Amino acid sequence: MRLYGLKNCDTCRKAMKALPQAEFVDVRADGVPADVLAAAQARFGDKLVNTRSTTWRGLDEADRAKPPLVLLAEHPALMKRPLITNGDEMYLGWDKTTQAALGVG
């Protein structure tokens, strides 16, 4: 199981505490493999980009119009967090649905 997020993100920290067996990948330092990002985009669509973040608010209209995968490659902190992969399964965010699916919380 891998958890993609930011080490200074409170939500990611909560997820890591509940999932101590997960391998943490800092998206700012290490990035997200292109195949994982593409699979997440295919599965979650527009939900993958966090449009409520300060990074998003700092972008101009030209940047916001870029395809999501290009945007996330340029600004990894724009990804909604955490992105959790477990084999073929993928979860986005740390809500009650994700926690229940992973058997925690």
| Residues taking part in catalysis | 9
Q: What is the rounded CA–CA span in Å between residue 20 and residue 37?
A: 23
Q: What is the rounded CA–CA span in Å between residue 96 and residue 105?
A: 7
Q: What is the rounded CA–CA span in Å between residue 46 and residue 83?
A: 14
Separation of first and last alpha carbons in the chain: 17
